[in-house]
Amino acid sequence: MTQAQTSENYFITEQPYYEPIGNEVALFEAAYQNQLPVLLKGPTGCGKTRFMEYMAWRLKRPLITVSCHDDLTASDLVGRYLIKQGNTSWVDGALTHAVRCGGICYLDEVIEARKDTTVVIHPLADDRRVLPIDKLSELITAPPEFCLALSYNPGYQSVLKDLKPSTRQRFVALEFNYPAPDVERKIIMQETQVDIVTAEKLVKFAQTTRNLKQNGLDEGASTRLLVHAAKLIQSDIEPKQACHSAITQALSDDAEMLTAIDELAASLF
């Protein structure tokens, strides 16, 4: 199977549902037209990945997503030699594949990757737009269609986990946050077909949990969790139980905090 054929698997053929919360669509398109890399900043579950799916569909480019983690290596991104049936062959990594096919490479939650791994993106994220592959003695120049995008949650920054200035300053940053209440309600209804009254209660519940951030919670309820709860409710799960399973349990393991969040849900449902 050729590289071009395998790239077909990464095209998004149906329009993903996405509600803009600002001018992020126009900003991303302008960055793409100018071959500038993009950094998406925002809390967990606020729509960054859905936005990338929508933009890949809109720009008609394959989207190759890498979920970053502590064990991610440079070889995972660039490629490695593998032995198959006694023969040694080179296999491109996700980043190399995206460069070769002129796709969008999306490194999700890049803050979770080791710093020595993310250094390999630097030559792609400046005016050079090249990817050195030392093991092949090859230097790949990215075509105009290629786009590099990263995402991370600034709320989880620490001394040990933060983007280096040398990485951060290569990117155009788009800031995401939770949608306005009316937009969030619309998203919940569109995604789950739940009624407007239930959607409004879920949005109010989320807002109260978000007010607890830095007061016992690392993060409040995300739009994603509200959609999960609404889907359970649509499947005839009692609303308080749906909120407990889909939202409360996802936010904390502390017994007192669990009780407090459940009481917030009970006050609405």
Residue 199 is predicted with a pLDDT of: 98
Yes or no: say if 186 and 34 are a contact pair by the CB < 8 Å rule. no
Report whether pLDDT(1) > 50.
Answer: no
Q: pLDDT over 90 for what percent of the chain?
A: 83
pLDDT at 3: 46
* Residue 154 in this model has a pLDDT that exceeds 70: yes
28/36 Cα distance (integer angstroms): 9
| pLDDT in the model for residue 164 | 84
Per-residue pLDDT at 210? 94
**Cα(93)–Cα(65) distance, integer angstroms:** 11
pLDDT digits (tens, 9 = 90+) for 207-247: 999 999 878 888 899 999 999 999 999 999 999 999 999 99
Does the pLDDT of residue 194 top 90, yes or no? yes
> Does the structure show a pLDDT above 50 at 181?
yes
Residues 138-154: what's their mean pLDDT?
96
Confidence of residue 162 (pLDDT cuts 50, 70, 90): confident
pLDDT value at residue 20: 95
Task: For residue 40, give the nearest of 161, 146, 147, 172 by alpha carbon.
Answer: 172
Mean pLDDT of 63-82: 94
What are the C-alpha distances in Å from 140 to residues 98, 102, 123, 239? 11, 11, 10, 53
Please name which of 131, 147, 142 lies closest in space to residue 61, comparing C-alpha atoms: 147
